[in-house]
Structure 1
Amino acid sequence: KICRHGDFFISNLFVDKQGQIVGVIDFEDFSKIGVPLEDLFNFIVTYLFALERNNKLKFFDKRFFKQITHEVIDDYNMLFKLSDTQISSIFKYYWLASINRQMSKYRKNIQIAIFRISKLVKKPKTIFDFINIVFEE
């Protein structure tokens, strides 16, 4: 079983003066059922977005971030024997689930927009048609 913190990012970590994580808070979204690496991917994505917005994350410099990311992936590999392909697949699942969570906030507006587009071009009629069109190769 994989436990999932659900909101694992920089603001929910306590870091000592040496840069070591000494505590984690905010277990409001905790679940006993999770996907391997989900919290790590959430941590990576929120960190990268934070860097994009504010390049002053002094206590979490890029070297430390890269080091901890590699260490956690290595730990998962030791525990679960995950291949690079499996890690890549899990990341794709995480990314799609994140997009779905964000889109759910705007689902009604998206449905209205898709309906209007479908009247103009007869495609897409559903969100799945829209996604298929967007990701066509």
Structure 2
Amino acid sequence: MMPHRDGKTGHMIRCFGCCSVVCRRASRSVLLSNVQIKVYSTDTPTGYVRCTRDSYMAYSCKCTVIDVECKCCRMILGYHILHPCGSCMTGWSSGHRWIFDTSSVISTPKKASLKDGLNGSTTHHDQGDGEVKIR
């Protein structure tokens, strides 16, 4: 469940529920345990993201994770990895512990202007290359 970046285009991601910017520097990623699952990952979310509820063990490994939500509309956006398991630490070098579900966020490539991103002309959910593998 850990991120692995390829260093290609960065993305600004916004909450799907209220359009608050939740990350200005995310990478498109896939889970190593299941490459069909696409996510965005980062090491630095904005102040519009907070951890919720109690931590739990991840479904595909032994990492301890906690759900994260948008502070504005309380939509669940993904999860934060609190304690990576041994398997994930071995295959992980990016430092990305904040994972965002592609169905919960709207992505804009950083090369696009903010104006283009807000009108939806360059937004992405789950497409293209430049994906990163994460556990």
* Larger proportion of strand: 2
Please say which structure displays the higher CA radius of gyration: 1
Instruction: Kindly indicate whether structure 1 or structure 2 has the higher relative contact order, using CA contacts under 8 Å at least 6 residues apart.
Output: 2
Q: TM-score, normalised by structure 2?
A: 0.24
